[in-house]
Structure 1
């Protein structure tokens, strides 16, 4: 079914939490290049006229900035990455409080558009058990695993966002389900994945270039259709030179294929993001090694 589309593509006032991080800085640059006015909200960096530095686990600080900003959209990217070497309770407290504060402050300030960094982790990672069907899409049947602290927060964020959108029919929330974000300087190391295909199969050999991830989250901020929507962001291809059909046959022979696969086609489908958000991956390891 086609999704009706409303767009507010130009001259938006956007707050980007985590805007000094690697993805956040790319998203900030991309948004500004498209003519948007961006305010960065982060715990690290130097304060300035377009940058607010604060502890995002402190609700009053977050709410004060968002309430006075007059923002059209909030892009929430702040939080400890899943592989941060800290105790699980530390990661959970930081990421859960940060997300609650940002989403709640945005809603209280009557921000009409919220984008937040969801994750592939709530779609069944690690895939040591074969998925029912492939490629993975936003509505694929999966089993959420509560033993993953980072994934647990992402699952709870997803539930909060869905409830917020259900409570306010004017609100547009986009959950951006990011596959593993990679930096272009790491492409030289991709050849080693052939030596450990099973190990790299934890997320079905998918990835997203950080520059394409930035494009996706900003385009989601421009998408203003009310309601809650999930969007998977992934590169068009896998990290492997082994053909995708061979990987599926070797490691997931019980999974039902819902389409004919291209030679190196990703097993995380980005088709919805392309169709609805006009997402168009521009960068990949095969062309930039």
Structure 2
């Protein structure tokens, strides 16, 4: 992708992540076309226009993306987890919309950055605690989802690879962790309730009460937005996937100690201190991206975020 793009289509533009991405793109001087299931109440920020769309409708999706004549498409819209909906709805919605958006983007000659998920590995929504093959997990680790959300993201990455091959555009699959918002970190409840002795004393392979998150990983929404813009500016050939995680776990406990408590047979663990169980070394190498925000300051930060919804 080049740095000369001027028009970017953003799907899910009014979602929690979408608003931060739109706000950042507008601040960078991009013309943004936002697509969502509804329109913003106050019209949205200057530099952005919005259209209501059902991304499961291929005709609507293709018409709006072709009409925008974008340089790039950022696809963020999805049902974000397998809870609260029938699994068939989660899988069908996410895969159908991903196909429609990526195919329309490729047909328009637009490069793509889209939100896959670390859930494609199969860890977050499993009904038992699954051990990774090694820690820190990287992009080469096998994807083994057993839930409809993780499976939809693995399927979406297959669509991403097909789009890059078929249309000759670049497609970046961002695999973010649990997204947190400055001043409102949901991780804080998990951290305050955490007890490593209780974790080690579990008698079953079921997740402990409160779960383990994504091996206690997270990402600040501002860092996710910065990875999107870094991917838009980078020279990516074909399809590439990148993990998007904060540099440390949200507990402030040594990661290797956590894995020792979680598993009878600890997977190979090459981390120092409370470093994240997922590595973003590939993103640093290829995109020049590193996370800037950590829970110790961001959890209670008073930050003015996007004010349109």
Superposition TM-score, scaled by structure 2 size: 0.83
**Secondary structure at the residue paired with 2:157?**
helix
State how far apart, in whole Å, the 1-side matches of 2:185 and 2:266 are.
32
**Secondary structure at the residue paired with 2:191?**
helix
What corresponds to 2:286 in structure 1? 276
State how far apart, in whole Å, the 2-side matches of 1:26 and 1:63 are.
24
**Does the CA-based 8 Å contact 1:32-1:38 persist in structure 2?**
yes
Q: Which residues in structure 2 correspond to 1:20-99 (within 5 Å)? A: 20-46=14-40, 50-99=49-98
State how far apart, in whole Å, the 1-side matches of 2:292 and 2:5 are.
24
* Ranges in structure 1 where 5+ consecutive residues have no aligned partner: 1-6
What corresponds to 2:191 in structure 1? 191
Please say which of residues 101-110 and 91-100 is displaced more in the overlay.
91-100
Q: 1:212 aligns with which of 206, 217, 223?
A: 223
**Does the CA-based 8 Å contact 1:194-1:241 persist in structure 2?**
no
- Residue 203, structure 1, aligned to residue 219, structure 2: no
State how far apart, in whole Å, the 1-side matches of 2:243 and 2:58 are.
29
What corresponds to 2:149 in structure 1? 150
Q: Tell me by how many angstroms 1:58 deviates.
A: 1.1
Q: 1:251 aligns with which of 262, 267, 275?
A: 262
**Secondary structure at the residue paired with 2:116?**
strand
Q: Tell me by how many angstroms 1:267 deviates.
A: 0.6
What corresponds to 1:4 in structure 2? none
Answer 1 or 2: which has greater helix percent. 1
User: Aligned in 2, Cα 1:42/1:213: closer, same or farther, shift over 3 Å?
Assistant: same
**Secondary structure at the residue paired with 1:186?**
coil
CA RMSD of aligned residues (A): 2.1
Q: Tell me by how many angstroms 1:11 deviates.
A: 4.8
- Which digits, 9 at most, give the CA deviation of each residue in 1:9-60, with x for residues without a partner? 3552110000110100001111122222211111122496711111111111
Please say which of residues 89-98 and 58-67 is displaced more in the overlay.
89-98
What corresponds to 2:171 in structure 1? 173
State how far apart, in whole Å, the 1-side matches of 2:163 and 2:238 are.
9
State how far apart, in whole Å, the 2-side matches of 1:271 and 1:191 are.
26
State how far apart, in whole Å, the 2-side matches of 1:167 and 1:94 are.
23
What corresponds to 2:139 in structure 1? 138
**Secondary structure at the residue paired with 2:34?**
strand
State how far apart, in whole Å, the 2-side matches of 1:287 and 1:248 are.
25
**Does the CA-based 8 Å contact 2:24-2:225 persist in structure 1?**
yes
What corresponds to 1:3 in structure 2? none
- Which digits, 9 at most, give the CA deviation of each residue in 1:228-262, with x for residues without a partner? 100000000101122112112222443113x3x22
What corresponds to 1:19 in structure 2? 13
**Does the CA-based 8 Å contact 2:181-2:220 persist in structure 1?**
yes
Superposition TM-score, scaled by structure 1 size: 0.88
**Does the CA-based 8 Å contact 2:280-2:290 persist in structure 1?**
no
**Secondary structure at the residue paired with 1:62?**
helix
Q: Tell me by how many angstroms 1:153 deviates.
A: 0.9
State how far apart, in whole Å, the 2-side matches of 1:131 and 1:94 are.
28
Please say which of residues 11-20 and 88-97 is displaced more in the overlay.
88-97
**Does the CA-based 8 Å contact 2:36-2:52 persist in structure 1?**
yes
What corresponds to 1:237 in structure 2? 248
**Does the CA-based 8 Å contact 1:76-1:117 persist in structure 2?**
yes
Q: Which residues in structure 2 correspond to 1:120-131 (within 5 Å)? A: 120-126=118-124, 128-131=129-132
**Does the CA-based 8 Å contact 2:6-2:71 persist in structure 1?**
yes
State how far apart, in whole Å, the 2-side matches of 1:271 and 1:116 are.
19
**Does the CA-based 8 Å contact 2:18-2:76 persist in structure 1?**
yes
